[in-house]
Structure 1
Amino acid sequence: MPLPDLILDPVNTPGVMAAKLWIRRGSGADPDGERGAHQLLGSSLTRGCGPLDHLALADLVEGCGAGLRCDTHEDGMLISLKCRDTDAAELLPVLGWMLSAPQLRPEQVNLERELSLQALQRQREDPFHLAYDGWRQLAYGTGPYGHDPLGVSDELQVLDAQSLRPLAEQLTCHGSVLALSGTIPTELLSGLEDMPAFQSLQTGQGLNQAAPELDERCANETFTPQPQGAISLHPLATEQVVMMLGRPTRPHGHPDDLALRLLQAHLGVGMSSLLFRRLREDHGVAYDVGVHHPARAAAAPFVLHASSSVERARLSLRLLHQSWQELAERLLNEEDLELARAKFRGQLAHATQTTGQRAERRAQLRALGLDDAHDQRSLEQLKELDAEVLRTTAARCLQTPLLSLCGPKESLHTLAEDWRKLI
């Protein structure tokens, strides 16, 4: 049987190895009426697989002083293992078993479902999550990115082990990437194909070949265009107002993506960023500001966010909108542009400090259909992006922002009226 698409990243570490197995099947592939199914499946994978039940698996991992977890994202599931190199041969087969032979015992699935429902309940008390959830539904509707990976409570409540089995059978049908970083034992690689867990793992083509082309992903947008001035309101008895202003943009690796990442750095990275200086230092109207722009396989969100007191919310909204509009109307000066480049370089460096970070980034790039040299090539292209390129990219990608608000009901109605006047 073919192995996962294998990436090796030897690093001189004191006997530590990180393994990241990326499965191209995330919450964006949740079936209709079963939102939260892949997250529930992912969390259940760590509760028994192959010949190991949940107790035996916990004893094996914890007995080696290792760490094992599975996180579900919109575009995929990420199984993470960190261990000593001397234990790698004993622990690595667990990754294969989790995919090819998950046990999915009813009592363990039910336990994970209850934990997910509790997490969703906590999210309903968080104004930031409520505001972002409203923006996400406004931007993506019922599309793949229209719900939190945890799912929706009413649909999650009816899921059980039987519901997950068809999804588990599909995990090996869409390709996977296994990235190893750190001290990698030579004998481990030579014996990988002989491990029963990986012999039974059918992955088909490697993701570098199976992933759709970026142009095709961009053409097939995952969001529904909204009318100008679209807004989502979420009343909540709280002392603050949370604002999310933005729109879906481009996939990671699209020709416009690098310019958008420089704009993200300019707007929201660090205390020298435009939003921090304008909303906090110059006007003192916001508790927290930032920009959310994750790497996605399709139209990624580009969202400015801020939290403010009720009394200063109206000014905060005007300043957020002003900052958004200026991107397409004004040229960045050379000092701000060079600072954005430096921040982008710093972000890449900080995101690849540990073996786990290095392995995860390599797996993510390959899973998105990008080559291993993507980040280095992005660094080399920075100087080609001048202020005019950033302005035209903003004019092309950052039009018609969508707004989501969470806070006291009376304040939301006033802000909605202000928003209609701004638009």
Structure 2
Amino acid sequence: MPWHLPLAAAGEPGADLTAGQDGATIRRTVLPGGVRVITEHMPGLRSVTVGAWVGVGSRDETDGHFGSTHFLEHLLFKGTHRRSALDIAEAFDAVGGEANAATGKEHTCYYARVLDADLPMAVDVIGDMVTSARLDATELETERGVILEELAMTDDDPADVVHEEFSAAVLGSHPLGRPIGGTADTIGAVPRDAVWNHYRAHYEPGTLVVAAAGGVDHDGLCDLVVHSLTDGGWILEEAVAPRTRRDPTPQTDGIPTQGTSRTVERPVEQANIIVGGTGLAATDERRFALSVMNATLGGGMSSRLFQEVREKRGLAYTTYSFAAGHGGLGTFGLYAGCAPAKAEQVEKLLVQELERLADGGITEAELARSVGQLRGSLVLGLEDSGSRMSRLGRAELVYGELYSLEESLERIRAVTREDVRALAQDLASRPRSVVRVGPFAA
């Protein structure tokens, strides 16, 4: 029987929702103070992946604070009032665990994978980092150099550069158009006080989601979270409603009304090209049709792009389509890497395939194949606790509801050829930008 948890509607402190899926049990509790805890118990697993999701990303930065979100991802590992950076590293190494973090445009996640017996340690350490980071001035300056090296590494990869430039071209001055990691200028300029103020403003109970999947007991995790956060000085007694998901209303401030063309010169062997424009917001009901369309157009070896650009013409090794959804808007693009002399031809083919899809839609065979591909990737993608933990965190912060695997598959199976064609026509009619990175004159 399909089920889904309407997470955004369950804001009462202490309220639980339960459901079963493939022998797993999903539960959710809103703790006093607005901290949300959501778990998926997976029978038979001896490991747990736990993540602390903070509802702040690069789009939330203001002038003078640009780069602060990415800076915090690094600095929270550099020590708290109870632990040094070495203490944090040794805590996970001593039990064979893994700990890491990731910054996004709309959230930041600190996560760890450990044996179920070591979950109390993982929650205590991550809770300590989230509530009690020192942001030591000396450590900050050291880490500034590390982040600048990370940005330089990204800038050396033309595939990364073309995606960053594509976001900037399509989204313009909108906050989502900024690079997640900041730039060399913003990271080099942001002062410690700005990072500290960003930390104090956004790391609070109402923005925190703790998600865990694997061999985890829900009530036990709730107790661990309360203990860890109160040890860190957070007040969880007041019944505060958690922050709901972002406003899904289309947001166009700062977005160019016409397509743009950008060329970034790099002394590399290949041209990296993206053609595309705005896409769908994360919560747009057409996102299931978008998944089918993306699979048909550029989602695998049988996709139209792969067959036309690589198999039939031998013009590229890598070509695909992609979509990214956020609160209020998204992006959609087609990528190819090719010899610079073939760039113009490949660019025309990318446009041609998008317009051919908009004009003629997809066949029944393509629809069936895409649905099958998505079914397999969804099921295989949930074979480990880390993927399931991420699904829980994103459901809470992005979608406001959590669909079962079967209900997600039903929504994909409900997509029609006309749904795909109508969506392709919409996306193809939008302002189109072209970004090229390679050995060209800018």
- Following superposition, the deviation at residue 80 of structure 1 comes to 0.7
Indicate which of 58, 61, 67 corresponds to 1:30: 61
1:191 equivalenced with 2:223 (yes/no):
yes
Deviations 1:120-167 (A, max 9, x none): 112222222222222111111222221221101111112243221111
- In the alignment, the residues of structure 1 paired with residue 225 and residue 261 of structure 2 have an alpha-carbon distance, to the nearest angstrom, of 53
- In the alignment, the residues of structure 1 paired with residue 317 and residue 159 of structure 2 have an alpha-carbon distance, to the nearest angstrom, of 12
The aligned residue for residue 434 of structure 2 is 403
1:181 equivalenced with 2:213 (yes/no):
yes
- In the alignment, the residues of structure 1 paired with residue 409 and residue 352 of structure 2 have an alpha-carbon distance, to the nearest angstrom, of 30
- Following superposition, the deviation at residue 14 of structure 1 comes to 4.2
Indicate which of 293, 303, 309 corresponds to 2:323: 293
Q: Following superposition of structure 1 onto structure 2, how do residues 265-284 of structure 1 map, counting pairs within 5 Å?
A: 265-284=295-314
Deviations 1:265-300 (A, max 9, x none): 112222111111000011111121112213423322
Name the amino acid aligned to 2:241.
Answer: Q
Deviations 1:195-246 (A, max 9, x none): 1434644684335xx22453x2xx2236513324x21111222222111111
- In the alignment, the residues of structure 2 paired with residue 357 and residue 305 of structure 1 have an alpha-carbon distance, to the nearest angstrom, of 26
- In the alignment, the residues of structure 2 paired with residue 66 and residue 263 of structure 1 have an alpha-carbon distance, to the nearest angstrom, of 39
- In the alignment, the residues of structure 1 paired with residue 325 and residue 273 of structure 2 have an alpha-carbon distance, to the nearest angstrom, of 22
The aligned residue for residue 11 of structure 1 is 42
Deviations 1:71-126 (A, max 9, x none): 11001001111111111112212222222211111222222221111121122222
- In the alignment, the residues of structure 2 paired with residue 295 and residue 38 of structure 1 have an alpha-carbon distance, to the nearest angstrom, of 20
- In the alignment, the residues of structure 1 paired with residue 263 and residue 225 of structure 2 have an alpha-carbon distance, to the nearest angstrom, of 54
Assess if the C-alpha contact under 8 Å between 1:213 and 1:369 holds in 2. no
- In the alignment, the residues of structure 1 paired with residue 158 and residue 221 of structure 2 have an alpha-carbon distance, to the nearest angstrom, of 48
The aligned residue for residue 242 of structure 2 is 206
Assess, with a 3 A threshold, how the Cα gap between structure 1 residues 263 and 63 changes in structure 2: closer, same or farther: same
> Residue 287 of structure 1: SS of its match in structure 2?
strand
The aligned residue for residue 77 of structure 1 is 108
The aligned residue for residue 163 of structure 1 is 194
1:68 equivalenced with 2:96 (yes/no):
no
Name the amino acid aligned to 2:88.
Answer: L
Name the amino acid aligned to 1:103.
Answer: R
Indicate which of 350, 362, 371 corresponds to 1:320: 350
Deviations 1:330-385 (A, max 9, x none): 12110011111111112212321210110111111111133111654331122322
Name the amino acid aligned to 2:38.
Answer: I
- In the alignment, the residues of structure 2 paired with residue 45 and residue 147 of structure 1 have an alpha-carbon distance, to the nearest angstrom, of 22
Assess, with a 3 A threshold, how the Cα gap between structure 1 residues 118 and 315 changes in structure 2: closer, same or farther: same
1:251 equivalenced with 2:281 (yes/no):
yes
Q: Following superposition of structure 1 onto structure 2, how do residues 326-405 of structure 1 map, counting pairs within 5 Å?
A: 326-373=356-403, 376-399=406-429, 400-405=431-436
TM-score (norm 2): 0.86
Name the amino acid aligned to 1:135.
Answer: F
Q: Following superposition of structure 1 onto structure 2, how do residues 105-116 of structure 1 map, counting pairs within 5 Å?
A: 105-116=136-147
Structure 2: where are the runs of 5+ without partners?
1-31
Structure 1: where are the runs of 5+ without partners?
413-423
- In the alignment, the residues of structure 1 paired with residue 400 and residue 182 of structure 2 have an alpha-carbon distance, to the nearest angstrom, of 28
Q: Following superposition of structure 1 onto structure 2, how do residues 218-233 of structure 1 map, counting pairs within 5 Å?
A: 219-221=250-252, 224-228=255-259, 230-233=260-263
Assess, with a 3 A threshold, how the Cα gap between structure 1 residues 194 and 34 changes in structure 2: closer, same or farther: closer
Name the amino acid aligned to 1:159.
Answer: V
- In the alignment, the residues of structure 2 paired with residue 366 and residue 187 of structure 1 have an alpha-carbon distance, to the nearest angstrom, of 18
Assess if the C-alpha contact under 8 Å between 1:139 and 1:248 holds in 2. yes
Assess, with a 3 A threshold, how the Cα gap between structure 1 residues 202 and 339 changes in structure 2: closer, same or farther: farther
Assess if the C-alpha contact under 8 Å between 1:69 and 1:80 holds in 2. yes
Assess if the C-alpha contact under 8 Å between 1:245 and 1:401 holds in 2. yes
Assess, with a 3 A threshold, how the Cα gap between structure 1 residues 38 and 222 changes in structure 2: closer, same or farther: farther
1:44 equivalenced with 2:75 (yes/no):
yes
**Alignment: residue pair count:** 405
- In the alignment, the residues of structure 1 paired with residue 317 and residue 206 of structure 2 have an alpha-carbon distance, to the nearest angstrom, of 43
Assess, with a 3 A threshold, how the Cα gap between structure 1 residues 253 and 110 changes in structure 2: closer, same or farther: same
> Residue 177 of structure 2: SS of its match in structure 1?
coil
- In the alignment, the residues of structure 2 paired with residue 236 and residue 184 of structure 1 have an alpha-carbon distance, to the nearest angstrom, of 49
Indicate which of 149, 161, 165 corresponds to 1:134: 165
Indicate which of 35, 51, 54 corresponds to 1:20: 51
Indicate which of 95, 100, 103 corresponds to 2:134: 103
- In the alignment, the residues of structure 1 paired with residue 403 and residue 348 of structure 2 have an alpha-carbon distance, to the nearest angstrom, of 41
- In the alignment, the residues of structure 2 paired with residue 363 and residue 252 of structure 1 have an alpha-carbon distance, to the nearest angstrom, of 14
1:172 equivalenced with 2:204 (yes/no):
yes
Assess if the C-alpha contact under 8 Å between 2:323 and 2:331 holds in 1. yes
Name the amino acid aligned to 1:206.
Answer: P
Assess if the C-alpha contact under 8 Å between 2:269 and 2:339 holds in 1. yes
- Following superposition, the deviation at residue 391 of structure 1 comes to 0.8
Assess, with a 3 A threshold, how the Cα gap between structure 1 residues 201 and 325 changes in structure 2: closer, same or farther: farther
> Residue 179 of structure 2: SS of its match in structure 1?
coil
Assess if the C-alpha contact under 8 Å between 1:48 and 1:102 holds in 2. yes
What percent identity do the matched residue pairs reach? 20
Assess, with a 3 A threshold, how the Cα gap between structure 1 residues 45 and 13 changes in structure 2: closer, same or farther: farther
1:241 equivalenced with 2:271 (yes/no):
yes
Assess if the C-alpha contact under 8 Å between 2:275 and 2:434 holds in 1. yes
